[in-house]
Structure 1
Amino acid sequence: MPTPGTIHAHTRRRRPSLVAGVATALLSLLGLAACGAEEKGAHLALTAAVPDEVPAGTVLRVGDPATQTALEESGLIDELDVEVEWANISGGPKTLEAFRADAIDVGAVADIPPLFAKWTGTDIRIVAARETVDPLNHPTYELGVAPGAGVESLEDLEGKKIAYSPGQAQGALVLRVLKQVGLEQDDVELVEMTSVDDAYVNALGSKQVDVAPLGQTLVKTYRAKYEQDGATTLQPGVRDDSWTLYAPTETLEDASIAAALKEYVAAWAKAQQWISEHPDEFAQAFYVDHEGLSPEDAKFVVDALGTFEVPTSWDEFIARHQETADLLEKEQGQEPLDVEALYDRRYEKVIANAVEGTS
């Protein structure tokens, strides 16, 4: 697997990597923040129109390896007339760490990290949204069941030990599933742990927990490793497909970076369409060549995840996101949050134009 926090410079005018030979992700982020600092552009009010022109010398720092791969493999990157420094950073915790280290300007995450960024003191805005076609039959996560746990259906979760990461999408999924089957937190034992790498797989295999949400890249691994011992997985039966691009608010108050983002989100939207229309090419380029999966496992993942769509109106997406925030407010004691205020809808029309092929 790639090392979190490393930088790959891939621009229309190739530039040398900003950091090299750094031993840890933290040092990498600090080095990137120090070396990659760009001179700030003019201040832009959040209510002002985003400029169309990107000033010469503007560099947009992006943590989104999947989209980078799609843009490169499809050739769409040649249409992106903005200089991008690509950070090999993904996932909520690492993206937020990168924001706080001033190492990236925008990152790609599920719907939970932007909420927790706001709740933990980082002011952010969401600038793009993606969802799955037929999400109940193509979940992002499945529930891994430990060998001998005695869980054959969602109704069997009562009294079980369930891996739980409050600040990640997996944690919200657990709460949604419990609500779906009429269970409260007190009806199960939530075991707090951060879902990083294969931590949940190991917890299931060692029977530290009975159930844990597993991303599709880990589902096949888990089955191959423990199915002979009786391990299984269950479909969660709830939506878990929301995906976003988000950025620190101060990034959007920089006129130069805001303008660069305007170009990037349009390219991002086209890249998501390309991924759905070219699953085999994406499986090879990203899951095999970048992530190190076998061709068979890569095909399993893209088939399991299904196809994506980029909504041209965010109304329904925001309404679902509000329901999630309200659930976390109730179940985790979080502060009430107006999710609508987190969305920078200036970019909504930009994406709609890109998806619909208009200008």
Structure 2
Amino acid sequence: MQQGRRTATLILAASLVSAMTLGLTQAQEPAPLLAEVPAGTKLVVGDPQTQKALQLSGLIDEIPFEIEWVNLSGGPQTSEAFRARALDVGSVAEIPSIFANWNNLPVRNIAYREREDPIGHPIYRFGIAPGVEAKSLADFRGKRIAFSPGQAQGALVLRALQAAGLTRNDVTLVELPSTADVYPVALASHQVDIAPIGGVNIRRYVNQYGADGATLVEHGLRDDPSHLYAPQWVLDDPAKAAALAVYVDFWARATQWVNDNPEAWVEGYYVRDQGLSAEDGQYLVELTGNQVVPASWDEVVARHQQTIDLLAAELGYEPYSAEQIFDRRFEALGAAALASK
């Protein structure tokens, strides 16, 4: 009962947050969130890391409605599931919600977290193929760079070029999917000269090909946004919107549990669930650092606007207001959940 009262308080507080005019296809102000989740409400959730954190922490037993968990993550998979009406909410980085709205899939971000030290703990490094001379972003001129439009890695490439005073006309962008080990293999086989690589692929790439001359370049840019996002038709359903508000509460608490329990996270998620070695798991924990949930989205929306404008200019899309992909009804919930601990 205490959890139910706390959740209702958080939802009521969020209803007081100023709602912005949202939607590329809608202009009306969204309805306030319900104070309680109606009985029988169910969410289909594609957020595997949060699912595991909730299970390991025991928080999953406190969720007051039914969740059907699906093993989906990343923009392409979640967008496809949204279009099939098979998913209510997913976990992605910055780019999927931007491109979804460009591709007639109205979605909104409902939660946001970032790394406490994003420059010291970037998600990606640029891998440099063996024998290629590149020690800074300025050296990217004339190089072949792996590019995945519509995904975070693709946007990072464009931001890196912008930071170096270059445009896509100064390089050759080679479209490749940024899945699994595609980029490290493309680098090692000299399909490309440069590619953004992340996770355990960073250390594995250098360990495997460093003797051949493979290197890394730090980009010095923010690449850390992490979101929950949902289709507009789900957010327009009062019962599901209320359940999403409660889910954001648990998502934030799961984030903090991972921060506070790195050893349990390495063993329970990276080793047992993902099949990585303890050494790889520890590397990933150190790579991530501490994650935080800001109480305000103002700076987040401003950074998204810069990204939208850059992508529009470089890829030929029509720019739009970043406010259109944020549902401000949910803005206060994540931080409020942590503040009330």
TM exceeding 0.5: yes
Paired with 1:47 and 1:102, the residues of 2 have a C-alpha distance of: 21
- The one-letter code sitting in structure 1 at the alignment partner of 2:220 is G
| 1:95 to partner: Cα distance | 1.0
- The one-letter code sitting in structure 1 at the alignment partner of 2:272 is D
Paired with 2:75 and 2:171, the residues of 1 have a C-alpha distance of: 25
Q: CA RMSD in A?
A: 1.3
1:192-341 matches, within 5 Å, as 192-341=175-324
| 1:206 to partner: Cα distance | 0.6
- The one-letter code sitting in structure 1 at the alignment partner of 2:175 is E
| 1:163 is aligned to 2:146 | yes
Paired with 1:142 and 1:85, the residues of 2 have a C-alpha distance of: 35
155-164 vs 74-83, which moves further: 74-83
Counterpart pick for 2:133 among 131, 134, 150: 150
Query: Which residue number in structure 2 is paired with residue 78 of structure 1?
Result: 61
- The one-letter code sitting in structure 2 at the alignment partner of 1:131 is E
Residue-by-residue CA offset, 1:153-192 (whole Å, 9 max, x unaligned): 2221111110001110000000111111111111111111
- The one-letter code sitting in structure 2 at the alignment partner of 1:71 is L
- The one-letter code sitting in structure 1 at the alignment partner of 2:308 is A
Query: Which residue number in structure 2 is paired with residue 346 of structure 1?
Result: 329
Query: Which residue number in structure 2 is paired with residue 90 of structure 1?
Result: 73
Decide whether the 8 Å contact of 1:216 with 1:305 is kept in 2. Answer: no
Query: What is the SS of the residue equivalent to 1:292?
Result: coil
158-167 vs 215-224, which moves further: 215-224
| 1:130 is aligned to 2:113 | yes
Query: What is the SS of the residue equivalent to 1:317?
Result: helix
Query: What is the SS of the residue equivalent to 2:33?
Result: coil
Residue-by-residue CA offset, 1:228-253 (whole Å, 9 max, x unaligned): 21112221111101111100000011
| 1:115 is aligned to 2:109 | no
| 1:148 to partner: Cα distance | 0.7
Decide whether the 8 Å contact of 1:46 with 1:253 is kept in 2. Answer: no
108-117 vs 293-302, which moves further: 293-302
Paired with 1:81 and 1:58, the residues of 2 have a C-alpha distance of: 10
Cα 1:126–1:287 change in 2 (3 A) is same
Paired with 1:282 and 1:322, the residues of 2 have a C-alpha distance of: 34
Paired with 2:288 and 2:210, the residues of 1 have a C-alpha distance of: 21
| 1:284 to partner: Cα distance | 2.0
- The one-letter code sitting in structure 1 at the alignment partner of 2:301 is I
| 1:69 to partner: Cα distance | 0.9
Query: Which residue number in structure 1 is paired with residue 37 of structure 2?
Result: 54
Q: Could you state the TM-score of these two structures normalised by the residue count of structure 2? A: 0.89
- The one-letter code sitting in structure 1 at the alignment partner of 2:187 is L
| 1:325 to partner: Cα distance | 0.7
- What are the ranges of 5 or more consecutive residues in structure 2 without an aligned counterpart? 1-27
Q: Could you state the TM-score of these two structures normalised by the residue count of structure 1? A: 0.85
- What are the ranges of 5 or more consecutive residues in structure 1 without an aligned counterpart? 1-44
Shift >6 Å, 4+ stretches: none
Cα 1:46–1:246 change in 2 (3 A) is farther
Decide whether the 8 Å contact of 2:141 with 2:166 is kept in 1. Answer: yes
Paired with 1:133 and 1:47, the residues of 2 have a C-alpha distance of: 31
Decide whether the 8 Å contact of 2:30 with 2:236 is kept in 1. Answer: no
Paired with 1:146 and 1:322, the residues of 2 have a C-alpha distance of: 33
Paired with 1:253 and 1:203, the residues of 2 have a C-alpha distance of: 43
- The one-letter code sitting in structure 2 at the alignment partner of 1:108 is S
Percentage identity across paired residues of the two chains: 51
| 1:221 to partner: Cα distance | 2.1
| 1:198 to partner: Cα distance | 1.2
Query: What is the SS of the residue equivalent to 2:127?
Result: strand
Query: Which residue number in structure 1 is paired with residue 174 of structure 2?
Result: 191
Paired with 1:224 and 1:237, the residues of 2 have a C-alpha distance of: 22
Paired with 1:234 and 1:294, the residues of 2 have a C-alpha distance of: 25
Query: What is the SS of the residue equivalent to 2:70?
Result: strand
Residue-by-residue CA offset, 1:79-123 (whole Å, 9 max, x unaligned): 221211111101111111111111210000001000000001101
Query: What is the SS of the residue equivalent to 1:334?
Result: coil
Decide whether the 8 Å contact of 2:108 with 2:327 is kept in 1. Answer: yes
Query: What is the SS of the residue equivalent to 2:331?
Result: helix
Decide whether the 8 Å contact of 1:312 with 1:355 is kept in 2. Answer: no
